[in-house]
Structure 1
Amino acid sequence: MKTLLKITLTALMFLSVNAYSQETIIPEIKYADLEKYIELAKQNYPKSKAFALRTSKSKTDVTIASISYLDLFSANYFIRPDNKTVLDPVNPYNVNGVQFSIGLNLGNFITKPFTVKKAKDDYKIAQLEAKDYDNQLVLLVKSRYYDYIQAINLLKINTQMASDNKGVAETLRNRFEKSEITLDTYNQSRILQFQAYQAKIQAESVYLKAKDLLEEVVGSKLSDVK
């Protein structure tokens, strides 16, 4: 009789587990929500913002490098009033009126194309790095979302197990009070009930951590996402 009750108690516990473990979490995945989380992560996650700013800066550097071709040349002018003598002991080539001159920096003229090419290459690298990080961020959001969905379902399972074990423990307590079962069998039910409650508490902790991690990468409370 004692052995039979233990077997029955254990069977009830595994029956509860099997009833839920046979289900799948795939139908629980809402891809529309997942896409929203990915877009929010790209907008809000600090590292994603840093890559976007780096790409924008590199693009600006290309524009600056291209415009700086004008730096190769220097223009000067000299004005000599007409009422002054033409003779200039410092520079006898000066004449009355206005004179213009344009100079070319040969060193900059040689290196400028390489400077522009480097700026363009840096921009391409920044674009590729940003794209690569976007791909990594998508995988990170998906991973944390799947963990979150898994945590929800595990919490449901363990909550139901705790409820089922509580019912079994109450039934066996009543039978123990009527001297229908032994103290050992009653104690076993209490142990199983404790283990069920412990598993539920652990599942709650896993759920809260999974939720926090998903909100951290999304940059917003899940309840605020519409």
Structure 2
Amino acid sequence: MKIIGLDINIPVLLKLSLVGVLQRIRKSWFVGVLSLFILGNSVQVQAQESMIPELSYPFLEKLIFTAKQNYPLMKANLRRVNFANYNLQRAKLSWFDFFTLSAFYSPSTSVTLTNATLTGIQIGLFINFSNIIQKPTVIKQSREELAIAQLTADQYSITLETDVKNRYFRYMQTLSVLRVQNQNAIDIEALYKQIKFRYERGEETLENYTKLMVQNGDQKQKLIDAESAVLIAKNTLEELVGKKLEEIK
């Protein structure tokens, strides 16, 4: 067939067009499979991998209670409160410290500075007026020290509770991420085996096989990172609680 001086072979043209279409379909197959995989995995994550349903607030309350019982700094603050309370009680009970009762025994007659003669047992009562004046101030100071110690303990109790909550939520987050990464690793491994099988039969290109092999290796590294994040988050939470999470019922 000739069109404006051009000699066109229709069967050859159709063959070349068909080959081009098949090559395009073959190249787009890998992209289509990956797109479906990513889309399906995204829907799965949104539908199934929310960490909110996995949270246990009764268990969280047990973690907070255990942390307040075991964490050393919490114990130290409570001891400061007890020490301040002890000082206050001692200040209240020392009202008679400014009275001093003394007894003297003279077996023979003695002469005092006033030329008075004393013999036998003499009893004397001394009053420290300086202590009497300072006593209300000392008691007030002790009360303030007790109040400061109690407020410090209360403040740290709130801080400790917040830290336990944050670390618990972080730990649950890492568990959810681990589940997602684990499922992704399973899916990519299955797809990689299919592509490898097709490549060995000559039905898949080296480029597509290499891409999926790299992606499979990357996903395995992500899985290892997710496992490490879970262990670190668990360890930081147990640091505050003072026990293994498995020991808390």
**Pair in the same fold by TM > 0.5:** yes
Q: Contact 1:13–1:161 at 8 Å: present in 2 too?
A: no
Matched, 1:16 2:54: no
Alignment correspondent of 1:161: 184
Per-residue CA deviation, residues 133-189 of structure 1 (Å, 9 max, x unaligned), is 101110000000000111111111101100110000001111111111111111111
What does the per-residue CA deviation read over 1:54-106, in whole Å, with 9 as the maximum and x for residues that have no partner? 1111111111111222211111123345xx55xx3235445445332211112
Residue 112 (structure 2) aligns with: 90
1:127 counterpart = 2:150: yes
Residue 137 of structure 2 is matched in structure 1 by 114
Higher relative contact order (CA 8 A, sep 6+): 1
Alpha-carbon distance in structure 1 between the residues aligned to 2:117 and 2:45: 100
Aligned twin of 2:127? 104
- Residue number among 66, 86, 91 corresponding to 1:60 in the alignment: 86
Deviation of 1:118 (Å): 0.5
Residue 32 of structure 1 is aligned with which of 58, 61, 64?
A: 58
- With 104-113 and 117-126 compared, the bigger mean Cα shift is at 104-113
User: Shift of residue 21 of structure 1?
Assistant: 3.5
Alignment partners' CA distance in 1, 2:243 and 2:122: 66
CA RMSD of aligned residues (A): 1.6
For 1:7 and 1:201, locate their aligned partners in 2 and report how far apart those are by CA, in whole Å: 28
Query: 2:67–2:240: 8 Å Cα contact kept in structure 1?
Result: yes
Choose which of 215, 219, 233 in structure 2 pairs with 1:196.
219
Give the superposition deviation at 1:225. 1.2
Structure 1 unpaired stretches of 5+: none
Picking from 26, 41, 60, the partner of 2:67 is 41
Compare 177-186 and 17-26 and name the one that shifted more.
17-26
Aligned equivalent of 2:164, options 125, 141, 144: 141
The structure with the largest strand share of the pair is 2
Percent identical pairs in the alignment equals 33
Q: Which residue of structure 1 aligns with residue 238 of structure 2? A: 215
From the CA coordinates, give the structure whose radius of gyration is larger: 2
8 Å CA contact 2:112, 2:118 repeated in 1: no
Which residue identity does 2:61 align to in structure 1? E
Cα contact 1:151–1:207 (8 A) shared by 2:
yes
Alpha-carbon distance in structure 1 between the residues aligned to 2:211 and 2:40: 17
Letter in 1 for 2:186: S
Partner AA of 2:59 in structure 1: D
How many residue pairs get matched?
Answer: 222
CA contact (8 A) 1:58 1:126 kept: yes
User: Which whole-Å deviations, capped at 9, do the CAs of 1:171-216 have from their partners, x for residues lacking one?
Assistant: 1111111111111111111122112111111101110100000000
Deviations 1:6-61 (A, max 9, x none): 23124313422430234421111111111111011111111111111111111111
d(CA) in 1 for partners of 2:46, 2:231: 21
